[in-house]
Amino acid sequence: MIPVSVVIVTKDEERNIRDALESVRDFEDIVVLDAFSSDGTPAICREYTSRVYQQEWMGYARQKQAAVDRAERQWVLILDADERVTPELEKEISETIQAGAFSGYYLPRKSFFLGRWMRHSGWWPDHILRLFRKDTAYIEPREVHEKVVVNGAVGYLKEPLEHYTYRTISDYIRKMENYSTLSAQERGDKKDAPLISMALNPFAVFIKMFFLRQGFRDGMHGFILAGLYSFYTFLKYAKVWEKRKKG
């Protein structure tokens, strides 16, 4: 068994959670913090661990920090329900924490989007800091796109974490509605100009993803992804404008 606490937050993840838990069944400690799912998520989780807790949703950062606080091992790995730890990554994690050269590690993440692995568009390698010593790190309190902050040196692993992201365009649109609202709340007090941002930033995002980050090499998938991110950017600033208009 690998002496690492895996922490997962869930909310109605019946479709994803079994594969996620199956991928980390060789880890010593698995902590699940469920936001009172209405489906079979908690029951599935209890097949893999007795450490299943429930807590009303407090936001991404606070919810994940509450899960991390329950971890019993020195090393912690944050895993989302739509992510998988491969055997190769599991082996690298085991060897890495024994060496203990750093306080935290970035993992390369590869994403499966609309039926294919993305290799460009800024989605590969998508390095995220997910493995860290509990006593040296905390989750930055943000509305969305929360991240782990480590007080110490950090390194990089080589084996990728698999991310089974949006299965359909409708999946993306449903999540975009929530993320754009949270992003607008986070930007509400910043002194930018929503009109200029609405006009220019979506175009800049498309150019960056499709051309500068070579999304064109992902074919139609890269084009669709860049278009969706552009629309997300427009929606985010439109909601900032709406929020300020309402006072």
Domain holding 225, by residue range, is: 169-245
- Rounded CA gap, 47 and 14, in Å? 13
Residues facing 137 on adjacent strands: 150
What integer is the mean pLDDT of 21-41?
98
Residues 158, 173 within the same domain: no
Query: Which residues neighbour 218 within 8 Å (Cβ) at sequence distance 6 or greater?
Result: 116, 118, 119, 120, 121, 225
Q: Does residue 189 sit in the same domain as residue 106?
A: no
How do residues 46-72 score in pLDDT, each as one tens digit?
999 999 999 999 999 999 999 999 999
Residues 187 and 158 both lie in one domain: no
Q: Say if residue 156 is in the same domain as residue 217.
A: no
Indicate the number of domains in the chain. 2
The stretch 182-199 carries a mean pLDDT of 81
Other Cβ atoms less than 10 A from the Cβ of 144: the count is 17
Residues 129 and 178 reside in one and the same domain: no
* 206 and 233 share one domain: yes
Domain C-terminal end among 114, 143, 164: 164
Can you give the pLDDT at residue 188?
66
Where residue 243 falls among pLDDT bands split at 50, 70, 90?
A: confident
Q: Report how far residue 161's alpha carbon sits from residue 84's, in angstroms, rounded to the nearest whole number.
A: 6
121 — pLDDT class (breaks 50, 70, 90): very high
CATH code of the domain containing 129: 3.90.550.10
User: Taking all residues of the chain, what is their mean pLDDT, rounded to a whole number?
Assistant: 95
> What's CA 211's distance to the chain center, in Å?
24
For the entire predicted model, the pTM comes to 0.94
Q: How far apart are CA 206 and CA 156, in angstroms?
A: 28
Q: How confident is the model at residue 30 (pLDDT cuts 50, 70, 90)?
A: very high
